[in-house]
Every structure is written in structure tokens, then in C-alpha cells.
Amino acid sequence: MPAPSSHVAEVPGGGNSAGEERAHFDALIAREQRIEPRDWMPDEYRNTLIRQVAQHAHSEIIGMQPEGMWITRAPSLRRKAILLAKVQDEAGHGMYLYSAAETLGADRADLTAKLIAGRQKYSSIFNYPALTYADVGVIGWLVDGAAICNQVPLCRSSYGPYARAMVRVCKEESFHQRQGYELLLTMMAGTPGQREMVQDAVDRWWWPSLMMFGPPDESSPNTAQSMAWGVKRHTNDELRQRFVDMSVPQADRLGVTLPDPDLAWNESRGSYDFSEPDWAEFAQVLAGNGPCNAARLARRRQAHEDGTWVREAALAHAAKRSGGRP
Ligand code: 3HC
């Protein structure tokens, strides 16, 4: 775990030249020390963090939609309470991450406007529909499971506020995955129709879950630099492989079949071989042509508009309390 850096960039002699500040930044990264908001950092480091943290935050908020639509249709009060807690957690994760982005100088309202205008991304996974209640369990098991694979290493990200936000997020994600898996175990012990619902959901969510980790390393424009700066600790392909190796035994325990005929244990690699996801589909979803892209952004835009009065009231109250002082 990187040690916290010197909060104030202690560069010998003060009044530092750009070269000295850059050298100090590089030394912090090399020593695996955290970069904190008040430390000098290259614009490129700041910008790629704003890019990634904003996408992460947007993903948490948009990610509330697929499952949120099942809250009113949960089959029992217990399932409804669990799903309410999970969807509420995702909102909180978004808030932590927008706060982390603000420590980099980003403006939350500006990030929201860019999301709604389609000028910033959110995870491709949330552009697929949650068609049956089994999807709630499969999203918990596979999507939150993939998020855990991706987010646990981010607890060691070089940027302090991002890494610290991830610690709390990951604790809640493990609940998200377990509740989904427990729901699926229950359905798989149920009727043949319930078992068919689970298998159908697995068939629809498996490949989009693999795409969550990003494009193959050789076509990732950001991975090499993000790894050099310690923003990311593993490459997209490394984490995708880790997710497959984790999921196959879980699928066996559930009694479902993962929809990849080439999935097979490779003794020499100590991992599972698996087929390449459909990267043309991935590119289409990122281009806005996925099954639910338009609906997700329309819903987010509507929620933002519906919340205008809340923001105005909060700002008016704050102004009144401060007596108009900024
Ligand atoms: N969905 C949408 N865009 C994606 C993507 C995906 N699954 N994978 C990659 N991209 C985008 C990248 O943002 C980048 O575009 P940009 O330069 O315009 O931002 C481009 O495709 C190339 O990808 P790279 O691999 O070069 O980009 P990164 O180095 O940023 O890696 C990432 C992509 C692995 C998603 C990384 O950004 C990351 O780890 N982000 C934080 C974690 C995250 O977003 N997790 C998923 C959503 S959160 C979630 O699942 C909530 C949970 O509660 C369910």
C-alpha cells in the first residue's frame, strides 16, 4: 500500500522550477507514495484521472437504472430491502467518486453536463437491459464481481482520494456480489423455469461483463501511461483473466453454463483459456449504439431536470445561511 506522500510538496529550496517539481512528482511515483490534491502533478496525470474517475462516477449513477427498475417488482420484502440497499450504495459510490474528481479541480455540475451531453463515458455494461428478475442476481454476481476485480487494485492507485474512495466502495461491492450470488443459488434450487431464467441471464451478461475491463491491452491508448503512473495497477487483459478464473468455479457451483465453448483450463498457464469478446459490439456500444444507451441518458437527463428545484433550494438555503457571503 503506497505510503501517504508529504502533503505539501516538500521540494528542497522551495520556489521550485518546473523541472524540480516534475522530478519530485516522479520520485513520489517511483517510491509508490501517494499523490495528494495539494501536490504538484503533470496536467496529463490530472486529466487522465479526471477522465477515469468521472467515468467511474458516471458508471455508478447510470448503473442504478438496470436494477432500480426491479425494486418495485421484487418478489419479497426481503429481496426489495436488499435491492434498495444495493442501489442506494451505488448512488453513494457515485458521490464519493465525484468528490474525488473535485479534488482534482473538476466541477461536478460540469461533469454531469458532459455525461448528459454524451461527451463523457460510463461503463458499457449498463447499456444492456435487465429483462427478468434473474438479471438482478446475475448483475450482482458478474457485474459487481467484475467491478470488484477492477476496483480492488484501485485501492492502491497512486492518487490518494481515488484510492481511499475505493476502500469503502470495495467493502460494499462484496455485499453486492454476495447478495446476487445468493439470489441465484436460491433460484437454481427452484423450479425449472427459474433455472432457465438464470441461464438466460448468464448468457446475456457474460460477454458484456468481460468487456467491462476495457479493450485488449494492445488497443488501449491509456493503459501504458496509467500503469506507469500507478493510476492502474493491472492491465485490462490481466484483470479480465482474473475475473474469468474467479467466475468459472462459481458458475460450476451454481450449475450454470458460461456461453463460451472455448472456455477450458490451461494447466501450463494456470488459468482458463477463453474466447475473445466481440470487440465490434463493444465499439458500437461505446459509440452510443448499444441496446439501452439512449434510454439510459434520457433517464439521467430527466432525473437531472426533475432535481433542479432541489439544487436551487439547497443553494438558496446555503446563501441565506451565509448571509450572501461566498
Ligand atoms: N465502458 C465504457 N468505456 C470504456 C470501457 C467500458 N467498459 N472500457 C474502456 N473504455 C473507454 C476508456 O474510457 C477509453 O476512452 P477515453 O479515453 O475516452 O476515456 C477507451 O475506452 C480506451 O480504453 P482504455 O483501456 O485505454 O482506458 P482506461 O485505461 O481508462 O481503462 C477502464 C478503462 C478499465 C474502464 C478504466 O477506466 C477503469 O478502471 N475505470 C474505473 C473503474 C470502472 O469504471 N469500473 C466499471 C464501472 S463501475 C461499476 O461497475 C459499478 C458497480 O457497482 C457495478
Calculate ∠ Cα 223-237-288, nearest 5°. 70
C-alpha 98/C-alpha 133 separation (Å) is 30
Provide the pLDDT for residue 18: 75
Provide the pLDDT for residue 325: 66
Judged by average pLDDT, the poorest of 15-24, 154-163, 177-186 is 15-24
Give the mean pLDDT of 7-32: 76
Q: Is residue 172 over pLDDT 70?
A: yes
pLDDT single digits (tens) 247-299? 999 999 999 999 999 999 999 999 999 999 999 999 999 999 999 999 999 99
Provide the pLDDT for residue 8: 42
CB 148 within 8 A of CB 239: no
Does the Cβ of 48 fall within 6 Å of ligand 1?
no
Lookup: cell for 29: 511515483
Which of 207, 210, 218, 222 most suits a substitution to test ligand 1, by most atoms within 8 Å of the C-beta? 222
Give the DSSP per-residue string, 2-20: PPP--SS---TTSS--HHH
Which of 49, 52, 173, 282 most suits a substitution to test ligand 1, by most atoms within 8 Å of the C-beta? 52
Does the Cβ of 293 fall within 6 Å of ligand 1?
no
C-alpha 272/C-alpha 245 separation (Å) is 6
Distance in Å, CA 230 to ligand 1 centroid: 16
Does the Cβ of 144 fall within 6 Å of ligand 1?
yes
Beta strand ranges found along the chain (DSSP E) = 264-266, 271-273
Does the Cβ of 83 fall within 6 Å of ligand 1?
no
pLDDT single digits (tens) 185-238? 999 999 999 999 999 999 999 999 999 999 999 999 999 999 999 999 999 999
Q: Buried (b) or exposed (e) across 38-51, using 16+ Cβ within 10 A?
A: ebbbeeebbebbbb
Q: pTM of the entire structure?
A: 0.94
Residue 97: which residues within 8 A CB-CB, separation 6 or more?
A: 53, 54, 56, 57, 60, 162, 165, 169
Percent of the chain with pLDDT strictly greater than 70: 94
CB 202 within 8 A of CB 224: no
Does the Cβ of 227 fall within 6 Å of ligand 1?
no
Distance in Å, CA 31 to ligand 1 centroid: 26
pLDDT single digits (tens) 125-169? 999 999 999 999 999 999 999 999 999 999 999 999 999 999 999
C-alpha 3/C-alpha 107 separation (Å) is 28
